[in-house]
Structure 1
Amino acid sequence: MVLLNGIGFTHPEAYAAGPNYGEVLQKSLYFYEAQMAGPLPEGYRIPWRGPAALNDGAAEGVDLTGGFFDAGDHVKFAFPMSYTTTVLAWSLLLSENSYRSLDQDVYAKRNLRYVADWIMKAHTAPFEFWGQVGNGGLDHAYWGPPEVMPMARPAYKIDRSCPGSDLAGEAAAALAATSLVFAKEDPGYAAKALQEARELYEFADTYRGVYSDCIRDAASYYRSWSGYQDELVWGALWLYQATGEAGYLQKAEAGYEAIQSSDGSGKPYKWTMSWDDKSYAAYVLLSRLTQNPRYEVDAERWLDYWTQGYQGQRITYSPGGLAWLDSWGSLRYAANTAFLALIYADHLEQNPGKAGKARIYHEFGKRQIDYALGANPSGRSYVVGYGTNPPKNPHHRAAHGSWTNSLQSPVETRHTLYGALVGGPDRNDQYSDQRDQYVYTEVATDYNAAFTGALALLIQDYGGSTVANFPNHQKTTQEWSVETKVNSRGQDYLEIAARIENRTAYPPRQPKKLRVHYILDLSEIPAELRDPGQVKITTAYSQATAVSQLKVFDAARALYLVELDFSGQKIIPAGQSESRREVQFRFSYPAGWKPFWNEKNDPSFANMGNGWVSNPHLPVHE
């Protein structure tokens, strides 16, 4: 048992070796690849994801392909996406040595560039920015892979007539931070990102409004509760760092005065940084940039509330030591605070008089990340694919791999969503690893953003290593299913029903050419009677494009086949009816075959009866 400011923590046996921050960082970066929403970059590593949402923006006459899917769904929300971009860029600026020492800088920068490209693409005019692609209601009614989404994906924007200072301000911060990351290695790209950041900030500052008042669909998912003042400060701070222009710092400091808690009692301190609220990050960043004690007062009041307490008040702690703010994404909030606490602790190390606070904040940051990695009463990891007893059923459509548009089918998640931080436990350290318990098992890009940053900072102090030969994906499930049954039979005919089901998952896809073969063995028919042209193939019901007459498969062995051609049919793993096609076909034999014919010789007849059975003896050709 370790005590920190009166908070008890349990270190289970399974956690005795401590966390490998390097492995978790490696996998956390991989998670972002699973969220890519468009054409995929060179060197893409996930075999169960393919290009998706390739018509985004087409109905509105713009190209909005790319970017990140928000969470386990397939909507692209630009507000949390831009926040994620800013934080990932900040982490690279703070801890590039951590990424480089583990050869992860190439993946971190590729992720960053991929999403920054989309933000610039969505900025289609100086005072126009597309803030959402996909309708929340339509999207959440579909539980299937993004590669074959059947629903419409409308796009929504802010402009001068209906602005969004929070959204434009965060997008400006994201691109300004990105420009700093690429300033040396790709100055042309950095200059473009910075120019876009300038324009977006001007839009945010000139035409003021709350974005979710304009993009109404976003209000149900990512409503801007804190308003836009924090993003105006945040965006100005990043532009100041990227340009060195004092005017941006002046804007930030002037705007900072307007940041107030909802009750008007001063600067807020009972919440934390999130996709919505950048106030707390502004405390930390202004303290670092200006060395002004007034900002340190605000930063320390807030961090004291999260650690040792402030004026007799303190954040709720679970019995196992999780700083628990809210049920939805409990680990996300703890990780966000941990990231800023570690940054601020480094800042305080310059002040010998505050060494005690620096230690408290640093230990808090490490402790919260360690809780997520296994230092908790259950001894379990809350990162998919890492550590002891990690989550196996994140609330994530693509990873689940359903082909029937069902949250419950298949029972087991088909793909490992490496590196995803789940929402986490309740205030009593209880967790349910159930796909439909999304408060516990939801994952999101913003959940991982500051978590990734905290890992990189901890690697600087404690080291870490990556896993060799990662990723090592293996196909674990069948991609095509064929079921058959005997519809009817007589002395001179046999009628078979065959049903093919698209369960493709490596990646999910709609094949352009698809054929199924039913193979017959006619060796029992005397050679002098064996004229396959006398067998007539007819269909009673067919969802195939074509059904052939008998074709030679192996003449020497008297093997023939019927080809069920589904080419051109839209058979997609997106629902029970969408994923299936059925054909009922009849073999009619000449009368002279009656004494000899035995369908049980047919390779494709094995195990067939009067009810549907899975039949692996009908080859599928994709």
Structure 2
Amino acid sequence: MYLISISQQALKKLRKSKILAGLLALIMVVIISAPTISQTTENYGEALQKAILFYEAQQTGRLPEWNRVPWRGDATLEDGADVGVDLSGGWVDAGDNVKFNFPLAFSVTTLAWGGIEYYDAYKKSGQLVHLSQNLKWVTDYFLNAFANDTPGEYVLYGQVGNGELDHQWWGSVEVVNYQMERPAFKIDTSCPGTDLAGETSAAMASSSILFRKNGDTEYADLLVDKAEKLFDFANKYRGKYSDCLKEAVPFYTSNNGYLDELIWGAIWLHKAKKAQNSSYSAEYLAIAETEYQQMGKPFNYTYQFDDKSYGIYVLLAQETGKIEYQQRTEAWLNFWTIGHEGEQIKYTPGGLAFLAKWGSLPLAANTSFLAFIYSDWLQTQGKSQKAEGYFDFGVNQINYILGQNPAKRSYLIGYGDNYPHNPHHRTAHGSWLNSMNEPTETRNLLIGALVGGPDEQEHWADDRNDWVRNEVGVSYNAGFAGALAKMYQEFGGKPLTKVSFPQLDDEPEIYVESRVSQASKNATEINLSIVNKSAAPAQGWEDPLMRVFYTAGSNKVEDIAASATSNDCSIDSATVVKLKKGLYYTEIACGGTVIYPGGNEKYMKQISLKLNTDRATDNNFFGSLSSLFAKPLQITKICLYDGDELIWESDSAI
């Protein structure tokens, strides 16, 4: 590893130089004590493109036409039916199938913040439309989740799905409703949640600013109105949401308390109201500054779903210019760089700022994102030396994530030549056996997902069983996307014309296995197995029906008797239908049976079909068949239907 020292003034000139901009990442500046790696720049346009694309793999509901993930399908269409509210939309949280609205709202706020700060970069890269579409997908869901916005009667749904049950089953989101009930859980005035309501308010307020910049004033105004009511709910009815919405524990417990989300919501409402109305009197900023006095002032952690303190420092510094907020911001960022009061973040041998084993990369990315924002603001205040130091930190961390590390591994799935393939993600894995280990290789590539990352000695393996290092999530990508937008703004890059997804292997997903178990002059018995290994997308059949086509010498339906038995499904009928002379089919319906890729007893149903020709009257029925065990009839084709829809047919006779 080689470190090169250069003045800040020279570095600034280099960054602005069109000729030398591509060499910037080769120069590591010794202004912090963190290890650094000297490498070339990355394609930040492609990385940003894919980081936003990831969110479309997390969508639930009836998917929109603009969803670009070919292996995803409609999912959770019945969510909220138990409470009479449409909660089908939104994003599932991570590699599971639960909608946890607390980290979900944090993700929306953070993504919107990146869109606001780096609006031109998003627009120039062609990703603004994708960011906006994905944000609206969730803000629409939040509008539904805020089921009662009447003061004094507030109701906000904050979770869909039981985390304990969900985490015991390894299957795709498209078929989760066949496996388990998905109850909706709420907070209300009798049992409130200031942190959940405050963060959801921040999500709507921040998104309103972005939509207003896009020219969608009507929708922006709606979001501001709902954000104000949510803030009123958060402020007047105080309490930790996880004390009331107990199903969020232990997954997303509010360990940090609710005061930071209350302040956070107030600041974002201040910014949203200021964008909406030039005569706004800054009352929400006053609330934020008053409540801030009661808040703890940490410096040795970072911005994440349960701790908005560091985002509060940055926003209050921007909004007021007061030295208190600058000092708090810089104490935190110095901890991550040069150290503060004798404390400093640990660095891995390859240069990753390592805070915790869970989400080591997303935590570094979140810090980088806010470091970029604060650095930009410092530049406007004429404090370029500090600004450059924080900027350099962010550049090094993002480049580490994208592959400038000792393993030369990109931790962004689908980016670069060496990236993870087996994240801890049920729908991407595509197991039909309710097994994390089968199949061995993940069937769908989860393009754009940022995995948790290595440990402090940079140990990492492409193992979906290691959910600490290979979990993905909507909160993992949020700050990362904003940081990538800044990197694109500074260094450029070229998004792909189209992101291509690899195809599944050649093994069919849906088919019927058949085996003749008995063949005589009088009867043919066939064992049939209906198999559903679907993963692109996963799907369930609620009305499975099979038709077995065959030829026989008889001209009369009455000459053939059909019967079907099964221990796996209830056989409604096994009827014989004549198509034309010598050509018949028998139709077998399994009423009340759902076949879906959800486990051994779910993905395959076995049926025994017996075709009997004892009643044949045609003396020439067996024609030239002379062998004692020759088949009295010939199976020519098997077709599988879901209701009236043909979903599979054999391509050869049995």
Displacement after TM superposition at 1:533 (Å): 5.1
Matched, 1:42 2:65: yes
Equivalent residue number for residue 598 of structure 1 = 630
Which of 177, 185, 189 is matched with 1:160 structurally? 189
Displacement after TM superposition at 1:351 (Å): 3.6
Equivalent residue number for residue 159 of structure 2 = 132
Matched, 1:534 2:559: yes
Displacement after TM superposition at 1:171 (Å): 0.8
TM-score normalised by length of structure 1: 0.90
Contact 2:522/2:632 (<8 A) preserved = no
Residues 1:367 and 1:605: Cα distance change in structure 2 (over 3 Å): same
Contact 2:430/2:442 (<8 A) preserved = yes
Q: Quote the Cα distance in structure 1 between the aligned partners of 2:182 and 2:544.
A: 28
Q: Quote the Cα distance in structure 1 between the aligned partners of 2:167 and 2:578.
A: 46
Contact 2:80/2:87 (<8 A) preserved = yes
Equivalent residue number for residue 484 of structure 1 = 514
Matched, 1:570 2:603: no
Matched, 1:71 2:94: yes
Equivalent residue number for residue 104 of structure 1 = 127
Displacement after TM superposition at 1:255 (Å): 1.3
Which residue identity is paired with 1:429? E
SS at match of 2:35: strand
Q: Quote the Cα distance in structure 1 between the aligned partners of 2:431 and 2:633.
A: 36
Which residue identity is paired with 2:236? T
User: Which residues in structure 2 correspond to 1:74-473 (within 5 Å)?
Assistant: 74-126=97-149, 127-149=154-176, 150-184=179-213, 185-244=215-274, 245-260=281-296, 267-352=297-382, 354-472=383-501
Which residue identity is paired with 2:331? R
SS at match of 1:33: helix
Q: Quote the Cα distance in structure 1 between the aligned partners of 2:420 and 2:579.
A: 51
Matched, 1:583 2:612: no
Contact 1:537/1:550 (<8 A) preserved = no
Displacement after TM superposition at 1:197 (Å): 0.6
Which residue identity is paired with 1:252? A
Residues 1:617 and 1:217: Cα distance change in structure 2 (over 3 Å): closer
Which residue identity is paired with 2:256? S
Displacement after TM superposition at 1:411 (Å): 1.8
Equivalent residue number for residue 25 of structure 1 = 48
Q: Quote the Cα distance in structure 2 between the aligned partners of 1:154 and 1:78.
A: 14
Q: Quote the Cα distance in structure 2 between the aligned partners of 1:432 and 1:189.
A: 44
Question: Which consecutive residues of structure 1, in runs of 5 or more, have no partner in the other structure?
Answer: 261-266, 607-615
Which residue identity is paired with 1:548? T
Which residue identity is paired with 1:147? E
Question: Which consecutive residues of structure 2, in runs of 5 or more, have no partner in the other structure?
Answer: 4-29, 275-280, 639-647
TM-score normalised by length of structure 2: 0.86
- 1:157-199 CA distances to partner (integer Å, 9 max, x unpaired)? 1111111111111111111111111125111111110011101
Displacement after TM superposition at 1:31 (Å): 0.7
Give percent identity, aligned residues only.
Answer: 42
Residues 1:551 and 1:369: Cα distance change in structure 2 (over 3 Å): farther
Two-structure CA RMSD over aligned residues (Å): 2.4
- 1:408-445 CA distances to partner (integer Å, 9 max, x unpaired)? 22222111111000111111111121111111110000
Displacement after TM superposition at 1:561 (Å): 4.1
Displacement after TM superposition at 1:39 (Å): 2.2
Contact 1:533/1:550 (<8 A) preserved = no
SS at match of 1:182: helix
Which residue identity is paired with 2:447? Y
Which residue identity is paired with 2:597? P
Displacement after TM superposition at 1:378 (Å): 0.8
Displacement after TM superposition at 1:560 (Å): 4.7
Displacement after TM superposition at 1:564 (Å): 3.6
Equivalent residue number for residue 548 of structure 1 = 575
Contact 2:60/2:74 (<8 A) preserved = yes
Contact 2:521/2:632 (<8 A) preserved = no
Displacement after TM superposition at 1:124 (Å): 1.6
Contact 1:45/1:471 (<8 A) preserved = no
Q: Quote the Cα distance in structure 2 between the aligned partners of 1:250 and 1:33.
A: 38
Which residue identity is paired with 2:43? N
Which residue identity is paired with 2:454? P
Q: Quote the Cα distance in structure 1 between the aligned partners of 2:61 and 2:208.
A: 23
Which of 505, 517, 532 is matched with 2:535 structurally? 505
Q: Quote the Cα distance in structure 2 between the aligned partners of 1:2 and 1:516.
A: 68
- Answer with 456-465 or 2-11: which moved more: 2-11
Equivalent residue number for residue 609 of structure 1 = none
Contact 1:9/1:376 (<8 A) preserved = no
- 1:88-131 CA distances to partner (integer Å, 9 max, x unpaired)? 11111111111111221111000111111111211122322111
Equivalent residue number for residue 53 of structure 1 = 76
Q: Quote the Cα distance in structure 2 between the aligned partners of 1:599 and 1:384.
A: 53
Displacement after TM superposition at 1:152 (Å): 1.0
Q: Quote the Cα distance in structure 1 between the aligned partners of 2:597 and 2:636.
A: 25
SS at match of 2:563: strand
- 1:231-279 CA distances to partner (integer Å, 9 max, x unpaired)? 111111111111133211111111111221xxxxxx2111000000000
SS at match of 1:548: strand
Contact 1:175/1:196 (<8 A) preserved = yes
Q: Quote the Cα distance in structure 2 between the aligned partners of 1:409 and 1:567.
A: 29
Matched, 1:496 2:540: no
Residues 1:550 and 1:41: Cα distance change in structure 2 (over 3 Å): closer
Q: Quote the Cα distance in structure 1 between the aligned partners of 2:65 and 2:611.
A: 50
- 1:438-476 CA distances to partner (integer Å, 9 max, x unpaired)? 111100000000000000111111111111222445354
Contact 1:501/1:581 (<8 A) preserved = yes
Residues 1:347 and 1:445: Cα distance change in structure 2 (over 3 Å): same
Contact 1:175/1:194 (<8 A) preserved = yes
- Answer with 538-547 or 302-311: which moved more: 538-547
Residues 1:619 and 1:141: Cα distance change in structure 2 (over 3 Å): farther
Contact 2:44/2:494 (<8 A) preserved = yes
Residues 1:485 and 1:356: Cα distance change in structure 2 (over 3 Å): same
Residues 1:389 and 1:604: Cα distance change in structure 2 (over 3 Å): farther
Q: Quote the Cα distance in structure 2 between the aligned partners of 1:95 and 1:510.
A: 42
Which residue identity is paired with 1:398? T
